[in-house]
Amino acid sequence: MTQHSTGTSITFDQATKTYLGAAAPALDALDLEVEAGELVCLVGPSGGGKTTALQLVNRLVDLTSGDIRIGDRSITDQSAIELRRTIGYAIQQSGLFPHYTVADNIATVPAILGWEKKRIRARTAELLELVGLSPVDTWLPRYPAQLSGGQQQRVGIARALAADPPVMLMDEPFGALDPITRVAVQDEFLAIHRAVGKTTLFVTHDIDEAIKMADRIAILKPGGKLAQFGTPAEVLSNPADDFVGEFLGAERGLKRLALTTVGEVVSDSHDRAGAEAETADARTTTAGWPDVEATMTLREALSVVSAARAEGAIVHAGDSRLGEVSLRDLIAPPAAGEDREGVRA
Amino acid sequence: MSDFAPLGDPVIPDYGQVSDCVINNGVFCGDWFISQWATVFWPPLLSHIVMVAIAVSIGFVIAFFAGLLAYRKKWLAGPIGMAATFLYTLPPLALFQLLVPFTGLSLLTVEIALVCFTLVIIFQAVLVGLSGVPDDVRRAATGMGLDRNQLLVKVELPLALPSIISGVRIATVLTVSIATIAAFVVDDGLGSPIIKAVSSPFNTQFVGAGALAVLLAFALDGLLVLLGRVLTPWTKARS
């Protein structure tokens, strides 16, 4: 058994980066507190400085002014090399070493840190299991060229987790994957994140990915300014300004529906239906309504209902029928976060 | 030393039993080749191999470090590349002529010239190989905390190997060929029986020595291909 270090907070304190020869800063006085164990997505258009913000943390890019702290410790307190060995780093296209086997790729940082061979082997096997590549022995001796994109990305995540760093930086890690693989790897990573509790900064240009993955979303706008920082529900309900509204897109109402599952709404509709007489009544009106699973998001259920040209859907959890949701329940859910105020930056 | 075909007519004096092929001066007489192997062909072949090995080894060391330097200090890539290209463009015979006053009719003269011709090829191969390391791989390595030397030794050089090896292959084949001209300076290498035979009408000697040079080039190239396969197993790995 390897015990996992718990996450550590990351604090951006007026973090500013102006590249040599550039007139305007790429990142302008960013104040951001990522709490321990939290997954924060940095999103925004290109030129928003989201990758710069990420690379400031592991000092691939040096701060022009301001400070960044991991826990209580400024990142400038130790050498860049030492610092990086305590931070997990995963990037687009995985960045795996093509000349290393899967085993050697994952062992990169532990080997540098001088772990014993036995400990490295055990850790490597444990991580491959964690990212869903088993049986372990068939994957260890392969080269990256022998893996699919999704498998490479899984190994990339395992490699980033290898030395059990308290903090993970992920730079569009799933950007190059096809949509189906992408969803699968996202789900797996979310499960891993919940299991290991690393504080994670996650850069993506895909707002849907951010809504799905993030505990909180930081939206950066051109000029490297923080436009808004809040939970997905807060951001979708109360965009801080026109830029955020436009960035979230015309479908942000629909995106918000993706935050709630049918299961959360169906109990509500039961409460409101209440009276027994109405149930009998409902039996006639629900004829032809499609079936949906309780785990579906409202957005997905709406799509099913729309495709069936129905007025609602029958909700199931496995074999048991939970009740119904009407079209009205689907498009105006009572609990999609509007009770909370968006945090404006 | 009278191990090569004599000048003038008759083609072969009365050395005793000779084949029709030798009497008629055929293009290539196998029996003569075999009977003269130990004296006419083997010693020059051996000295040729030594000459090439020394030149390519020294050329590799110089060009390798020049390539590393140019990779680390980008502004040096232009000047070093130009100097190496200049050396490469010199006609070999002119270079020998230029060197003889300083280093005499010696193996040193030959080696200096041969090394000069390997430099630009290996230098470019090292530089191209190192520059061709994918950016995401370099960024991931740096981001994980590899220092500069670890990055070079663990990541950049291994990934540059296929390019470096193909450079060494070309340089080796070229050197096998150019080294035949060394016979103008020293009585060494496969050029020696060729030059001596050119002035006589007897064919087998220069055809045999020429063929040996070609075969040597192929053999050395093949060895380097094998070396490359052993050193870069990942390039063969495909799903």
Three-state secondary structure along A198-218? CEEEEECCCHHHHHHHCCEEE
Residue predicted with more confidence, B143 or A2: B143
The set of residues, in sequence order, having a beta carbon less than 8 Å from that of B33 and lying 6+ positions away, is B41, B204, B208
Place of tokens 């029709």: B20
| Mean pLDDT of the A286-291 span | 84
Query: Which positions in chain A have a beta carbon within 8 angstroms of at least one beta carbon in chain B?
Result: 55, 58, 60, 81-85, 87, 89, 91-100, 108-109, 112, 142-143, 145-148, 156, 159-160, 169
pLDDT for residue A281: 54
Of A93, A99, A145, the CB nearest to B238: A145
Per-10-residue mean pLDDT, chain B, length 239: 51 64 85 87 93 96 97 93 91 90 91 94 96 93 94 96 97 95 89 84 86 95 96 83
pTM of the model: 0.81
pLDDT reading at A212 higher than 70? yes
Q: In the prediction, which pLDDT does B12 show?
A: 52
pLDDT at A259: 84
A146:B239 CB<8 A: yes
Q: How much is the average pLDDT of A258-285? A: 62
Burial, A264: exposed, middle or buried (Cβ in 10 Å; 0-12, 13-18, 19+)? middle
> Is the Cβ pair B145, A97 closer than 8 Å?
no
Q: Which residues of A touch B231 (CB under 8 A)?
A: none
Higher pLDDT, A325 or A124: A124
ipTM of the complex: 0.80
User: What pLDDT is recorded for position B1?
Assistant: 43
Query: Percentage of chain A with pLDDT > 90?
Result: 54
Nearest to A130 by CA among A189, A181, A209, A87: A189
Q: What is the mean pLDDT of residues A287-302?
A: 87
The residue of chain B with its CA nearest to that of A171 is B140
Give the number of other Cβ atoms within 10 Å of residue A328's Cβ. 11
pLDDT of residue A77: 93
- The first and second tokens of residue A222, run together, are 């051109």
Structural domains present in chain A: 10-257 (3.40.50.300), 260-337 (3.90.1280)
Q: A55-94, pLDDT tens digit by residue?
A: 999 999 999 999 999 999 999 999 999 999 999 999 987 7
Rounded Cα distance between A16 and A61, Å, is: 11
* pLDDT, tens digit (0-9, with 9 covering 90-100), for A116-142: 999 999 999 999 998 889 899 999 999
Which amino acid is residue A26, in one-letter code? Answer: A
CB pairs under 8 A between A and B: 78
B222 touches B199 (CB < 8 A): no
pLDDT of amino acid B157? 96
